[in-house]
Chain A
Amino acid sequence: MEMAGKNDELITARAAGLLACTRCGRVHRREATACQRCGTTLAPESRRPLQAVWAWLLAGIIVYIPANIYPMLRTSTLLENHESTIVGGAIDLLHYGNYGVAAIVFIASILIPVGKFIAIGYLALSIGRAGILSAHSRHRLYEVVEFIGRWSMIDVFVVAILSALVQLGTVATINPGVAAVSFTLSVAFTMLAAQSFDPRLIWDADKEPL
């Protein structure tokens, strides 16, 4: 494909004094208020600020704490009542010898959320600073975070299915615990944090030769 002017340096829409639509990419003059192609409203300052990212991230971290303290699953059988947290559920699976499934639960409910908190925090902090990672690696990190974040919801769906399925009266009953609510909120908040992060901020600071 043809680049914006062959052999000369790349230019961003902002540097060229133009305004780009974030949904479809169509470039407009600065004065434009709505995208001619997809109809999205165009904001005059095209970069989204980081406040929203920090706000959603903080909210996500806060609700992640009760998600780990309170029970996710309440199992009642004839003999006993058992409440398990997210970590407890993964450990139970280990005891039954289901290593693969225990790994899925552990990765989806612990590694991915915590990894996301760190990654989004790092990306937001590293804007405008020379970091260890190049713009390309930071952008890759952002793409991974955006792609993988939704998968944390696995555990909530497991709880939903188990609670619907295991309703055998007094013999065995599984009910969801409150942690399911705060865990869902945590996933939703961090997804919103990732979505409100503007990847173009990574590239604005990028001055390396192309």
Chain B
Amino acid sequence: MKTNMTWQERFGDRALIACPTCDTVHVEPDVPDNHQALCCRCGHVLAAPRENAQVRVLALAVTSSILMIAAVFFPFISLDAGGLHNKTSIMDAVLAFSTGLMAPLSLAVALMIVLIPAARLLAIIYTLWPMVRGDRPFPLARKAFGLAERLRPWSMAEIFVVGVAVALVKVAGLATLNLGPAFWAFVGLVVVTVFQDTSMCRYTIWKWLEKTTN
């Protein structure tokens, strides 16, 4: 095959997709369920649709929202040492930095462990609800889903859980600890979020948004 062909000659008017990490052009794949399309150059996953993935992701997102509410409002951990008692909720952990110069850090922690995960859940439910029901997308659904994608690295609930585990080991020798329902809700939230993020096929969702928005 000639190598100096123009892209029109090579691809005609077939829809093209470029790998986001290496820019290699591929003809848009038509991927069957439970298969993956990988970039032929760098191996980046371009599409990974699963059977009923949208219903599953929506269900997991609703589950996460309920767990999130439980995690914020129920008691998280309580501590007993020498007759003294102190209990902590997630809000107390957020407010730990609220005195003096460190106040902005309180806001940052609140964003990373509660507000951003919650915003992502709402945006995903907002995008997928009409998709699962077979309706047209809600207004600004593309913006909402784009926001959920952009916020992903800043959602640090799972890191918080590991941090809590480290903190528990640090004080375990000095005091008696009781884990409250919110702790388990938060652990559940992390597990559900991992499943949700791995079973979501972004390619399928963007394609659907394109088809139904324009």
Report which of B92, B112, B206 forms a contact with A153, defined as CB distance below 8 A.
B112
Give the contact stretch, choosing among A11-19, A48-56, A59-67, A121-129: A11-19
The residues in B between 69 and 110 inclusive whose CB is less than 8 angstroms from any CB of A are 77, 79, 81-82, 84, 86, 88, 92-97, 101-102, 104-105, 108-109
B16 at the interface (CB under 8 A from A): yes
B159 at the interface (CB under 8 A from A): yes
Report which of B18, B26, B81, B166 forms a contact with A171, defined as CB distance below 8 A.
B81
B42 at the interface (CB under 8 A from A): yes
A117 at the interface (CB under 8 A from B): no
Whether B42 contacts A136 by the Cβ 8 Å rule is: yes
The residues in B between 5 and 38 inclusive whose CB is less than 8 angstroms from any CB of A are 6-7, 10-11, 15-27, 29, 31, 37-38
B132 at the interface (CB under 8 A from A): no
Whether A203 contacts B174 by the Cβ 8 Å rule is: no
Chain B: residues with Cβ within 8 Å of the partner, total of 76
Whether B170 contacts A36 by the Cβ 8 Å rule is: no
Assembly CA distance A24 to B71 (angstroms): 33
Query: In the assembled complex, how far is the CB of residue B59 from the closest CB belonging to chain A, in whole angstroms?
Result: 24
Query: In the assembled complex, how far is the CB of residue B48 from the closest CB belonging to chain A, in whole angstroms?
Result: 12
Chain A residues with Cβ under 8 A from B109's Cβ?
Answer: 156-157, 160
Whether B173 contacts A96 by the Cβ 8 Å rule is: yes
Whether A24 contacts B206 by the Cβ 8 Å rule is: yes
A115 at the interface (CB under 8 A from B): no
Chain B residues with Cβ under 8 A from A22's Cβ?
Answer: 20
Whether A167 contacts B86 by the Cβ 8 Å rule is: yes
Report which of A11, A146, A195 forms a contact with B25, defined as CB distance below 8 A.
A11
Report which of B11, B23, B170 forms a contact with A14, defined as CB distance below 8 A.
B23
**Chain A residue at minimum C-beta to C-beta distance from B10:** A5
Given contacts A5-B11, A39-B142, A156-B163, contact A184 B108 (CB under 8 A): yes
Assembly CA distance A152 to B113 (angstroms): 14
Report which of B24, B174, B214 forms a contact with A172, defined as CB distance below 8 A.
B174
Whether B104 contacts A181 by the Cβ 8 Å rule is: yes
Chain A residues with Cβ under 8 A from B37's Cβ?
Answer: 1
Tell me which of A21, A181, A188 has the highest count of chain B C-beta atoms within 10 A of its own C-beta.
A181
Q: Mark B137-179, 1 if CB is under 8 A from A, else 0.
A: 0000011011001000110100110111011011101110000
A23 at the interface (CB under 8 A from B): yes
Q: Mark A13-51, 1 if CB is under 8 A from B, else 0.
A: 110111011111111000000001111100000100000
Chain A residues with Cβ under 8 A from B162's Cβ?
Answer: 104, 151, 154, 157
Q: List 12 A-B contacts (CB under 8 A).
A: A11-B7, A11-B25, A27-B15, A37-B209, A153-B156, A157-B160, A157-B164, A160-B94, A165-B167, A166-B171, A168-B86, A203-B41
**12 other contacts beyond A1-B29, A5-B1, A163-B97, with CB at 8 A cut-off?**
A4-B26, A18-B7, A25-B20, A101-B170, A139-B21, A157-B109, A160-B96, A161-B164, A165-B86, A165-B171, A176-B96, A178-B102
Q: Which 10 A-B pairs have the closest CB atoms?
A: A157-B163, A20-B18, A203-B22, A27-B16, A163-B96, A164-B92, A1-B29, A37-B210, A16-B7, A161-B167
